[in-house]
Amino acid sequence: MAVERTLSIVKPDGVRTNVIGEVFKRFESAGLQIVAARMTSLTKAQAQAFYAVHRERPFFDSLTTFMSSGPIVASVLEGEDAINRNRELMGATNPAEAAPGTIRKEYASSVEQNIVHGSDAPETAREEIGFFFSHADLVQGVRT
């Protein structure tokens, strides 16, 4: 299984409800290494660019307003099969359908305000990491 990197975001609802640490703890407990992390915020235009793939969806305007409503924490997770493993830790998009013990099942309040984002494939992971981090931000050689 290949070592991968994936982009995670603790969304504004996760920052507001004080679960940044809970989310990070789950990544670390699962053996995913946090190799970059940054608190930032998105303008409406930046949120629209980040979620451009969803621009035709009925929830696009509401989603991008939510994503630009407060601070977020972007991070890069590294590990074997990191993309899929992060998706498993997150749980289904709709918390009502998420498996017990997943981040979204435990903390999310709605299908829109669902605490975390995670890249869904190697190509999107590369693009999304580049949206938030420069090459120099990514820690090299910290794996033990």
Q: Does 122 bind ligand ADP (CB under 6 A)?
A: no
Q: Locate the DSSP E strands across the chain.
A: 3-10, 33-40, 72-80, 116-118
Instruction: Work out the burial of residue 106: count CB atoms within 10 Å of its CB; fewer than 13 is exposed, 13-18 middle, 19 or more buried.
Output: middle
d(CA 142, CA 102): 27
User: Near Mg ion by CB under 5 A, which window of 23-31, 77-85, 115-123, 131-139?
Assistant: 115-123
Tell me: does residue 120 bind ligand ADP (CB under 6 A): yes
117 is catalytic: yes
Enumerate the β-bridge partners of residue 116.
10
What torsion, rounded to 10 degrees, do the Cα atoms 52, 57, 59, 64 define?
A: 10
Active-site hit among 5, 11, 26, 117: 117
Q: How far is the CB of 41 from ligand ADP (least distance, A)?
A: 16
75 to 114: interface string for ligand ADP, x by CB under 6 A: ------------------x-----------------xx-x
> Please, what is the angle between helix 20-29 and helix 82-90, to 10°?
130
- Kindly list the residues in this chain that would bind ligand ADP in the complex (CB under 6 A): 54, 59, 63, 93, 111-112, 114, 117, 120
- Kindly list the residues in this chain that would bind Mg ion in the complex (CB under 5 A): 120
User: Hey, which residues are catalytic here?
Assistant: 117
